[in-house]
Structure 1
Amino acid sequence: MNKKLLLDQLERTVSLKVYPPQRIVSLVPSQTELLADLGLGDSVVGITKFCVHPSSWRKEKTIIGGTKQLHLDRIRSLKPDLIIANQEENDREQVEALAVDFPVWVSKVVDLSTALNMIAGVGEATNTRTSAEDLMLKIKTSFASLRSFPTHSCAYLIWRKPYMVSGGDTFIQAMMEVAGFENVFGHQNRYPEVTMEELAAADPEWILLSSEPFPFKEKHLTELSVVCPNAKIRLVDGEMFSWYGSRLLRSADYFRILREAN
């Protein structure tokens, strides 16, 4: 086995003692799916309870907790050659604790460009460069073919009781822009809480209710229509707006269908 030095998206040097890595733990659902699509099924040994794609892995791999509540002892017992994490989705203290004993490659994804860079980085870290480059080309092509739509003001809700929305410094924000939406809460950071009064005052033309992390359903449309009676309110697949791995292969077509159907 060879050794290798890598640079992650936080500009940290990550030293792999085993290259290519034979025992990989993924701490992020969208990056778990990416590892599967890069053909690394035999190398991935641990995933989170939220890693739902591919579904078969939930029975085949060791579940190492949630993205922000990892079972560190369980991860250590797997003796990983590489751990793949994300700055936003994982707890910093837990990631730093793991990095004392294991190589941890951390992604930082804020838009399509950094998502593509993440795919390239994971390809380099796992010795799957060719597959990663092919995937990146397909994603770039799909987004390049997405036509521009008239811009509409929009609120993207991720939680209920209290209502929480996507702010302006998120990957969701970047995907909203690609789909032709102007985020009415784009001036706020991260995922702020908003009241019904604030939502009404923002008066968005569209309200998108995400399927995750809160599972909005048809029954929630009515309560939002009372707050913003003139808005188009739609349930949307949160994975298309917030997953930044190989799921991006489907996002551009999803945005096109969403806009053309309305």
Structure 2
Amino acid sequence: MQPRAVDAAGVAHEMGSANTRIVSLVPSITELLFALGLDRQIVGRTGFCVHPHNQVRQVRKVGGTKSVNVDAIRALRPTHLIVNIDENERDTVEQLRAFVPHIVVTHPQTPQDNLSLYALLGAIFDREQEARRLSEALEIRLHEAAAQAFPKQNVLYLIWREPWMTVARDTYIAAMLRLVNWQTLPDVQGGATGEARYPVLDFDHAPWLAGVDRILLSSEPYRFTQAHCDALKRDPRLAGKRIELIDGELVSWYGVRAVEGIGYLMQRAAAS
């Protein structure tokens, strides 16, 4: 019997067969599955799974990450479903569990967690060599970041407007930013304190705002533009703060994108 790999829910999975059929409900992991060379086994993905562009167009859409079309997935007869604790609804996953034999739960919370993510999927889908290559590339990036002394910056990372929303410090995004010594404000731990992992903020009632050095407007999930950036620069409450756009995919997408994302953040921090 093949050794079993344990996912984020503590479930052990044996290696799939040559007839494996995968549906991914996680955009960044869909990209990772293609990077592992699983093109022929991927039969379903969400409408937000847009990378790699050319390959995903050949894969049937099954709704969104939270608005999943259960019947569409059923029709695809998947053997494996890839989900994420933050991105997919538990109730939906439980519905799918009734007819999908293997549900693989993921939950990377730091850049380093990608190493175990690569290993998990490599073991389940018989792509261990490809997974090792990705791990080696990521470890190089992590060592490069750790070897540099980046000046500390307190940052407000905005992911939404109306209402304004940011990230707690126990999110993957905040962990990525810490690699270049960018510390997120407010200083809250969503999971540990019961507060939201993606808290709503009011510029008029945020005493910690005075300590923010730069404000980063993410390109996703809300697509901030230069117009939003310029509007905030005119806001007297934010006078003297550096306000700029940032590529949300490179900061928030785990999987294969983490390798490029760390390099991107290192360049941004070095140019500060």
TM-score relative to the length of structure 2: 0.90
**From 199, 216, 219, the counterpart of 1:192:** 199
Aligned to 1:168: 169
Contact kept, 8 Å, 1:4 with 1:19, in 2: the verdict is: no
**From 218, 226, 229, the counterpart of 1:218:** 226
Count of aligned pairs between the two proteins: 260
SS at 1:176 equivalent: helix
Percent identity for Structure 1 against Structure 2: 33
Aligned-CA RMSD value:
1.8
1:188 shift after superposition: 4.6
> What is the rounded CA distance, in whole Å, between the counterparts of 2:270 and 2:238 in structure 1?
22
Aligned to 2:193: none
Aligned to 1:177: 178
**From 253, 259, 262, the counterpart of 2:269:** 259
1:1-262 alignment runs, 5 A limit: 5-14=4-13, 18-20=16-18, 22-102=20-100, 103-146=102-145, 147-189=148-190, 190-199=197-206, 201-203=208-210, 204-225=212-233, 226=235, 227-262=237-272
1:14 shift after superposition: 4.0
1:198 shift after superposition: 3.6
Structure 1 gaps of 5+ residues are: none
1:112 shift after superposition: 1.8
Structure 2 gaps of 5+ residues are: 191-196
> What is the rounded CA distance, in whole Å, between the counterparts of 1:52 and 1:199 in structure 2?
36
Contact kept, 8 Å, 1:20 with 1:127, in 2: the verdict is: no
Rate the CA distance shift 1:198–1:258 in 2: closer, same or farther, 3 A: farther
> What is the rounded CA distance, in whole Å, between the counterparts of 2:206 and 2:271 in structure 1?
24
Contact kept, 8 Å, 1:27 with 1:84, in 2: the verdict is: yes
**Stretches of 4+ aligned residues off by more than 3 angstroms:** 2-6, 13-16, 198-201
> What is the rounded CA distance, in whole Å, between the counterparts of 1:60 and 1:154 in structure 2?
39
> What is the rounded CA distance, in whole Å, between the counterparts of 1:77 and 1:3 in structure 2?
29
Rate the CA distance shift 1:3–1:145 in 2: closer, same or farther, 3 A: closer
